[in-house]
A = this chain, B = another copy of it.
Amino acid sequence: MPNVTFHFEDETAVTVSAPKGSNLLAVARGANVVIDTPCSGNGVCGKCRVKLLSGQVRSPKSQHLSDEEYAAGWRLSCVSTVEEDVEVQVPDIASAFKSRMKIADLNSGKEIAIFEEARSAVEAAGMPMENTMELLPLSMSQPTLDDTMPDNERLAWAIRRATGIEQVRIPYTVLKTLPVVLRDSGFQVTCVVRRTDKSVFVYDVLPGSEKAVIGGLAIDIGTTSVAALLINMQTGEIISRASTGNGQIRYGADVINRIIESSKEGGLKKLQDAIIQETINPLVAQMCRSAHFPARHIYRMCVAANTTMNHLFAGVPADHLRMEPYIPAFFKTNALFASDLGLNIHPDAHIIIAPNVGSYVGGDITAGTLVSMVWNQPDYSLFIDLGTNGELVFGNSDFMMCCACSAGPAFEGGDISCGMRATDGAIEACTIDGNTMEPAFRVVGGQKPVGLCGSGIIDVIAELFRTGIINAKGKFVREGRRVSFDQHGNGSYILAFREEAGGPKDVEITTADIDSFIRAKGAIFSAIRTMLASLDFDVSMIERVYVAGGIGSGINMKNAVRIGMFPDIDLDKFHYIGNSSLTGAYCMLLSRAAERKTYELSRNMTYLELSTINSYMDEFVACCFLPHTDASLFPSL
C-alpha cells in the first residue's frame, strides 16, 4: 500500500498507509489530519487544498485552482486519489485549527471581567450563586470488635448526623475504594457531596488531610470553536479558561453537513469521538495541567451548545433535526453522566445541558438569553448570536420570541475565497482611503495577512461601499491598481498583493464573496425585520441590542449598520457581550437558581419559524443591497 505523508507548518509530519485508489481527504481524516473542508469534501468550496512535495496524486484541475497553482503542486484533497507514495504539505491556514488550543491568561483582568459582570447581574436578578455541591468534613470512630458497622453504613450514618438528611447515596465508584480510603485516613475524611432537600449523593471520599476543591466545567460547544471554563464550584473562581477548534470541523463546516456525516454507518460515534475524545478531553487535560488541578475533581459540567452540537456530544441520533417536522430527541435531559460519554473527569459527574428550544434554537441561545438579561427588563431588547447560524431573541420581562436564520459560514470565513477563521493572519479590521483606494488593516497576530475573518469582511465591504468602489448591489464601479476584473466583468479588490501577503496568493475580496456576505447579512437583518413585523413592532422600540458570538469580537458596529446588517439605531444601544453561551453555562453551573431560570426561559420562549412566514423571502431579497433597497430604513447614512 502506498504511504501518504502529511507535513505541517510546525515541521511535524504524519505518515499513514492507504490502499491504492483511496481518496486523499478520507486518508487525512482517518489519520486525524485536519484539513479545512467547509463544504464537507463535496468539491464545492475549494478550501481543502494541499501542496505536493513528492509523488503524484490523480486529481482533476479544479476551477478553484489557477494554472499556476496547479503547476506549483496545489491540489484539492477532496477530489484527489492516492496512487503511489506521496508527501503533501498541509497549509497553515488549514492546520491553524490544530494550533488554536489556547489557555487564556487569567492575569489579564479583561479575560474574566465579563464572567464576573454576568455573575453579578444574575445574582442581582435574584439568583444566588448557590449550587448543590459541598465539602463535608467527617470524623468517624474506628470500628472495633464491639462496633462492627460495615464501612458504607458507617459513612452513611456520619453523613446523616452531619446533614440531618436521611437518604444517603453511596455509588459504586465510592464503594470500590471506601475500605482503603477510610483506613488510610484513620476514618477522618472530607466528602464531596451533592446535597438536595431529600438526599445526599456522595461523589468522593477524600483523606481528611487532602485540600479539596470542587471543580466544575462550563463549556460552550460551537459548530466551529469550543470554549471552556474550569471553576471552583464553591467560590465561583475561574481556575482556568481555554478554547480550541471543534474537532468535528473535518466533517463539514455547518450543522447540516455534520448531521449527514453522523447518519452514515458508524458516523454518530465518529462525530461524538471528534468532539469528546479529540476536542474536549485534550482541552480539559491541558487546562488541568496548566492549573495543577486533578481532572477527577471536576464533579459537574454544564454544556451550552446548539441543538445539533448537544445531540452529537451526547451521541444521540441527530438525523431528525433536519427532517420535517424537525424534532429533537430532547430539549433538556438529566440522563448524562461523564462515564457514559467517555469524558475524562469524575466518572459520576453530572452533565447539565442548557435546554434547547427547537431544532434550530439550542442551549447556546437559552444560556445566552439568561445572561443577556433580555428577560429581566421592561424595555425591549434584541439579542443576536452570530455564529454559523444566526439566532435572535427579542422581548422583555413579559414575553420573548426567538428565531434562527441560516447565515451560512460567511461570518466565519466560509464561502469567501480568502475567508478564514479569526486566527493568526486574518485581517480583522480595515479602512480604505477614499482617494488612493489603498487599504490599512489590522491582522490577528500582527503578521502578514493570509485571509479575511468575519469582522474584517464587514469593514472591507463597508469601506468599499463608503468609498464608492462598489455600489449598493455590491458591484465594482471604480477602477484602480487594487481593483481587477475578470473576463465576465466581475471585479475584485486586492487587499494584499502576493508579495505583501503571508500566503501563496493575493488576499482579495471578489464580487462573488461580496454577494455571499450580503446574503448572510441580509439573512440577519430580514430576520430582525420579520420577527418585529410579526409582533407589529419596529426597530425604534428596541432599547438595547446585545451582540454575542466569537465572530463578533472585533466587530465595528457602525460598519455593521452601514452595510445593513444591523438596524440603524443609536450606536450606544449596541453592546458586545462576548461568548454569552459560555457565560450562561458558567452561571448555570454555579447557581441552581440560574439553571432553573434557564429551563423556565426556554419554556417561555416562543419560537418563530421564519420559513413559514410569507413575507420573509421578500424581506430577504430587499435586504440583499447595501444597506437596503429601502434607504429610509437607514436615515443616518
Contact with A152, one of B176, B317, B330 (Cβ below 8 angstroms): B330
A residues 128-177 near B (Cβ < 8 Å) are 143-145, 147-153, 169-172, 174-177
User: In the complex, what's the smallest C-beta–C-beta distance from A193 to chain B, in angstroms?
Assistant: 15
Which of chain B's residues have a CB closer than 8 A to the CB of A336? 172
Assuming the contacts A170-B335, A176-B316, A320-B183, asked whether A148 and B329 have C-beta atoms less than 8 A apart, the reply is: no
User: In the complex, are the beta carbons of A330 and B150 less than 8 A apart?
Assistant: yes
User: Within the complex, what minimum Cβ distance (angstroms) separates A278 from chain B?
Assistant: 20
- What residues on B are CB-neighbors of A320 within 8 Å? 179, 183
**Chain B contacts for A356, CB-based, 8 A:** 150
Q: A residues 28-51 with Cβ under 8 Å of B? A: none
Within 8 A of B (CB), among A287-340: 314-317, 319-320, 324-331, 333-337, 340
Q: Is A358 an interface residue (CB 8 A)?
A: yes
A178 lies within 8 A of chain B by Cβ: yes
Q: In the complex, what distance in Å separates the CA atom of A144 from the CA atom of B153?
A: 51
* A contact patch SS: loop
Contacts of A329 in B (CB 8 A): 150-152, 175, 178-179
Does A104 interact with chain B (Cβ within 8 Å)?
no
Bound form: Cα–Cα A330–B151 in Å: 6
* A175-207 interface (Cβ within 8 A of B): 175-180, 183
The reply to whether A170 and B333 form a contact with Cβ atoms under 8 Å apart is yes
Please count how many residues in chain A sit with their CB below 8 Å of the partner chain's CB atoms. 46
The one of B150, B171, B331 that contacts A327, using a Cβ cutoff of 8 Å: B150
In the complex formed, the residue of B with least CB distance to A318 is B179
Contact status of A314 and B175, CB under 8 A, knowing A150-B330, A327-B151 = yes
> Chain B's nearest CB lies how many Å from the CB of A147?
8
Contact between B148 and A179, CB atoms less than 8 A apart: no
A335 to B320, CA, bound (A): 35
Rounded to whole angstroms, the CA-CA distance of A317 and B147 in the bound complex is 20
Question: When chains A and B are docked, how far (Å) is the Cα of A147 from the Cα of B326?
Answer: 10
Which residue of chain B lies nearest to A152 when distances are taken between CB atoms in the complex?
A: B330
Cross-chain contact B340 with A172 (CB below 8 angstroms): yes
Q: Report the nearest B residue to A142, measured CB to CB.
A: B325
Given A183-B320, A333-B152: A145 touches B176 (CB 8 Å cut-off): no
Which residues of B sit under 8 angstroms from A153, Cβ to Cβ? Answer: 330-331
CA distance A233 to B317 in the complex (A): 31
Chain B hits for A315, CB < 8 A: 176
A295→B324 CA distance, assembly (Å):
36
| Cα separation A150 to B607 with both chains bound (whole Å) | 14
Interface positions of A from 367 to 384, Cβ below 8 Å from B: none
A319 pairs with B179, CB closer than 8 A: yes
Given contacts A170-B335, A183-B320, A320-B183, contact A326 B175 (CB under 8 A): no
Residue of B nearest to A347 (CB): B340
Closest to A607 in B: B148
Verify B325–A143 contact, CB threshold 8 A.
yes
| Chain B residue with the shortest CB-CB distance to A319 | B179
Q: Which of B180, B314, B335 contacts A317 (CB 8 A)?
A: B180
A residues apposed to B, CB below 8 Å: 143-145, 147-153, 169-172, 174-180, 183, 314-317, 319-320, 324-331, 333-337, 340, 356, 358, 609, 612
5 CB contacts below 8 A, A to B, read A150-B356, A152-B333, A174-B335, A175-B316, A176-B316
In the A-B complex, the 6 residue pairs with the closest CB atoms: A152-B330, A150-B328, A172-B340, A172-B335, A143-B327, A145-B325
